[in-house]
Structure 1
Amino acid sequence: MTRAPARPRLFFSFRSPYSWLTIRRLRAAVPQAFTELDLFPYWDPDARTGAALDERGAEFHYVQMSRAKHLYLLMDTKRLVQREGVPMAWPIDVDPHWEVPHLGWLAARRAGRAEPFYDEVVAARWERGENICEPKVVAGCAERSGLDPELVTGAVDDPQLRAEGVACLERAYLDDVFGIPYLKWGRHRFWGLDRLDGFLRLWRPDAPPSPVPADAETDDAGLPDRAEAIVTSGGYDTDTTGGCG
């Protein structure tokens, strides 16, 4: 007999617009996705997390993207959100500390509120353009999702949650994750928004395809309004590159 693969793994990042849109489509096709997959947060580690990864012999496969690729990502994301009719306010990241939202999510999962906290964080980042690396923003997300804000914002100083976060990134290293979003089920691997339907056909052939609306007319040369203002004013380089796919 052929043994069925273990539960699928989904590596996600609050930083990535493709991760946000992939999980949005995934949940539309499989509403119970948060309980039927094992989720692993993935982010650019700070010095403390990086040192802990080094101690385990793990690396960070992701390579920071070029300015040209980052500019393409801005334009591509605008096409996608216009096509799907999703409201978006492009966030501008300045010296972000990605442990704040991602370890905060691990704290929310520990408290049984992973999904509502996830929803609040992506709404803050992608719908309102807020800086989710600021503890006060994450505290608001925690409060709205029924959590103690101090429990979530204190995750960066919690040794157990730090260790859990390192284990998530080590798992990504062992699974050869090099970009986000990344789905793995047994020997099958799927990277990116455009591979979601391939994953669904394999994992849940009974599920409806992920909803992709017909193409809408868009200005392919355009950028999300806030990002366009940053670029045209000469402040483009204040928005950090990398980590988005």
Structure 2
Amino acid sequence: MASKRPPRWYFSLRSPYSWFAYRDLMAEHPEVLDTIDWLPFWEPDQETARLLAQEGVTLPIVAMSRAKNFYILQDTRRLATERGLTEITWPVDREPCWEVAHLAWIAAGDEGRGKEFVAAAYRARWQEGRNISDPAVIAEIAGDLGLDAQRLSTASQDAELRKRGAALLAESAHDGLFGVPFFITGRDKYWGLDRVAPFVRALQGTAGTAAAKATAPDPATHADLLPAGGDAGHAGGCG
């Protein structure tokens, strides 16, 4: 019988929603981050896409519309304000190569420092406005963590790390990922920043208790709460 897979979350160093989820968990449930598997997700470059294609894997990535991009800018400001984050920056990504940072995370993980690398990379990107697709920035992060700056900053040039990165992206496809943050425990999946709390409750075995406490509004007396026709969308996507 196959062993049960542990709970896990897919994060991205690119996504502001993933960053907020990370911060919320660190502030309120750091024990959760210590007990779940961390798996990265990013938009692959041509070489990684080629490796995925060889395995018959296609990631569900679509180009972001201009309207959605402006919405995320606005939404990120709101979410930052709610969390008292006044030093947030919005990086300008010109021809980013997300392998630079995410493959460096794999290398940092080999040294048992993957979580520290994530914290430093998020801080660099979202609070210092630095370009984490720049190998020089990764080298500085590695140096600050006492890691091999040369290995981390050139991780995207390492064929073995490339293969391992492609395998992780393939795993995300097999898990049905379509945006980050994305959490899984057992057969249950939770997508988006607003699903952090339900995921934590599921891990703690209190999901049923929380659901029992919630009462649905009476349509006769709360007609103003009924949804309008159509899909209202979801604000906690990959960003």
TM-score under structure 1 length normalisation:
0.81
* Structure 2 residue identity aligned to 1:143: G
4+ long deviations beyond 6 Å: none
Residue 11 of structure 1: SS of its match in structure 2?
Answer: strand
Question: Are the equivalent residues in 1 in contact too, given 2:10–2:38 (CA < 8 A)?
Answer: yes
Alpha-carbon deviation of 1:27? 2.1
Distance 2:34 2:9 in 1: 11
Question: Are the equivalent residues in 1 in contact too, given 2:32–2:200 (CA < 8 A)?
Answer: no
Question: Are the equivalent residues in 1 in contact too, given 2:25–2:33 (CA < 8 A)?
Answer: no
* Structure 1 residue identity aligned to 2:55: R
Alpha-carbon deviation of 1:7? 1.1
Distance 2:189 2:238 in 1: 18
Distance 2:57 2:34 in 1: 28
Question: Are the equivalent residues in 2 in contact too, given 1:103–1:161 (CA < 8 A)?
Answer: yes
Equivalent residue, structure 2, for 1:62: 61
Distance 1:138 1:192 in 2: 27
Distance 2:138 2:83 in 1: 27
Q: Does 1:126 align with 2:130?
A: no
Residue 59 of structure 1: SS of its match in structure 2?
Answer: coil
Residue 104 of structure 1: SS of its match in structure 2?
Answer: helix
* Structure 2 residue identity aligned to 1:83: E
1:84-128 per-residue CA deviation (whole Å, 9 max, x = no partner) reads 001301111000011000000000001111111111111100001
Question: Are the equivalent residues in 2 in contact too, given 1:181–1:193 (CA < 8 A)?
Answer: yes
Question: Are the equivalent residues in 1 in contact too, given 2:99–2:156 (CA < 8 A)?
Answer: yes
Distance 2:12 2:150 in 1: 22
Equivalent residue, structure 2, for 1:181: 181
Q: Which has the larger radius of gyration?
A: 2
Question: Are the equivalent residues in 1 in contact too, given 2:192–2:238 (CA < 8 A)?
Answer: no
Distance 2:53 2:202 in 1: 35
Distance 2:19 2:134 in 1: 19
Equivalent residue, structure 2, for 1:238: none
Q: Which has the higher contact order (CA 8 A, sep 6+)?
A: 1
| Identical counterparts, % of pairs | 41
Equivalent residue, structure 2, for 1:169: 169
Which sections of structure 2, spanning at least 5 residues, go unmatched? 211-236
Residue 146 of structure 2: SS of its match in structure 1?
Answer: coil
Distance 1:18 1:169 in 2: 19
Distance 1:203 1:167 in 2: 26
Residue 112 of structure 1: SS of its match in structure 2?
Answer: coil
Distance 2:32 2:122 in 1: 16
Equivalent residue, structure 1, for 2:114: 114
Q: Does 1:74 align with 2:52?
A: no
Equivalent residue, structure 1, for 2:231: none
* Structure 2 residue identity aligned to 1:28: A
Alpha-carbon deviation of 1:37? 1.1
Distance 1:33 1:106 in 2: 20
Q: Does 1:94 align with 2:94?
A: yes
Question: Are the equivalent residues in 2 in contact too, given 1:9–1:37 (CA < 8 A)?
Answer: yes
Question: Are the equivalent residues in 1 in contact too, given 2:138–2:152 (CA < 8 A)?
Answer: yes
Equivalent residue, structure 1, for 2:215: none
Question: Are the equivalent residues in 2 in contact too, given 1:61–1:176 (CA < 8 A)?
Answer: no
Which sections of structure 1, spanning at least 5 residues, go unmatched? 210-242
Distance 1:50 1:58 in 2: 9
Equivalent residue, structure 1, for 2:29: 30
Residue 38 of structure 2: SS of its match in structure 1?
Answer: strand
Equivalent residue, structure 1, for 2:219: none
| Residues 178-217 of structure 1: pairs in structure 2 closer than 5 A | 178-205=178-205
Residue 190 of structure 2: SS of its match in structure 1?
Answer: strand
Alpha-carbon deviation of 1:81? 0.2
Distance 1:173 1:115 in 2: 23
Equivalent residue, structure 1, for 2:39: 40
Change (3 A) 1:133 1:172: same
Distance 1:161 1:75 in 2: 36
Question: Are the equivalent residues in 1 in contact too, given 2:89–2:126 (CA < 8 A)?
Answer: yes
